Amino acid sequence: MTAAIRPRALPLAALAAGLLALTGCAALGLEHPPTAEQPLPTIDAASPTPKASGRGDGTLLTDDQARAALLTQNDLGAPWSATRGAATWRDGLLKATTRTAECQRLLDALYADELLGAPGRAAVGLDDADTDAQLRYQIGARRPADVDAALAWLRTMPARCARFTATTENGLVEDVQVQEAPLPEVGDARQGLRLTLYTTTSGGQDVVLTMDVAAVRVGEDSFALTNGGLGDVPNEATQAAVQIGALRLADVRKQGHAEV
């Protein structure tokens, strides 16, 4: 493999301009691509699922409980706000192909927001306008055993996909690196990753996409999140989201049990 691409320290505006020339998008960062039909909703629910009792007896959370367990912009504070739509770097950089099947599975899971192997019960998107980072947080809809299997697979990624090349739909060749990332000691099982995607535009502009990844099981429930953006992405929001998310999910389940 070729030597690692080492991006120059550039402001986000310069990074955006370089990728803009190649992708043809009207905007880069957190603006919604003009060709898409609808922006990502602030809160969205997955496909309808049978109603659950919420009694802590192996059933899923109800739809109302899943929504109540979501993060809000108030949890993270300024400058986080309700999302304005899918970040254009998702299609421009994250939508890519590689020859290694396991690494392709990881890219596909990240692009589709299916880290735990299936669409979540409810999801929320938050944007950091100061850094152009976007955080996607979703409540899982799988059995604990299935979640643990997904976590075990994610745990292998720093070894199996430590470094690989991928190609975007626009022909950008990316140097992708995957590392394990520490998470707060919350929940019953968890796994964190940090992905860094390096590439260079046809005009010689170095571009980097950084993404924090976290998946956590809390008893019978689970959640997953991604926090990504151009340049360096501060890890504090990821740590806070994991901490708050685990506590809230446990509290929602506890309240449901108490009301029985």
Residue 73: inside a domain: yes
- Pairwise CA distance, residues 179 & 249, whole Å: 27
The closest of 88, 153, 154, 143 to 118, measured between CA atoms, is 143
- What pLDDT does 202 receive? 83
- Pairwise CA distance, residues 240 & 194, whole Å: 16
Residue 237: inside a domain: yes
Residue 30: inside a domain: no
7 within 8 A of 198, measured Cβ to Cβ? yes
CB neighbours of residue 246 within 10 Å: 25
Burial class (CB in 10 A: 0-12, 13-18, 19+), 3: exposed
Residue 59: inside a domain: yes
Count: domains in the chain: 1
Q: And the tokens for 216?
A: 């956590």
- What pLDDT does 84 receive? 87
Residue 234's contacts (CB-CB under 8 Å, 6 or more residues apart) are 131, 133
- The pTM of the full predicted model, rounded to 2 decimals, is 0.80
195 within 8 A of 214, measured Cβ to Cβ? no
Residue 28: inside a domain: no
- What pLDDT does 254 receive? 86
> What CATH number is associated with residue 144?
3.40.1000
Handedness of CA 57, 59, 62, 63 (dihedral sign): positive
Residue 35: inside a domain: no
- Pairwise CA distance, residues 122 & 162, whole Å: 31
pLDDT tens for the chain, 260 residues long, are: 444 434 333 344 444 444 444 444 333 444 444 433 333 334 444 444 444 433 445 577 888 999 999 999 999 998 999 998 888 899 999 999 999 999 999 999 999 999 998 888 899 999 998 888 999 999 998 999 999 999 999 999 999 999 999 999 999 999 999 999 999 999 999 999 999 999 998 889 999 999 999 999 999 999 999 999 998 888 899 999 999 999 999 999 888 754 43
- What pLDDT does 234 receive? 82
Parent domain of 52: 42-258
- What pLDDT does 250 receive? 93
Residue 18: inside a domain: no
Residue 32: inside a domain: no
CA angle 112, 117, 118 (to 5 degrees): 70
- What pLDDT does 58 receive? 57
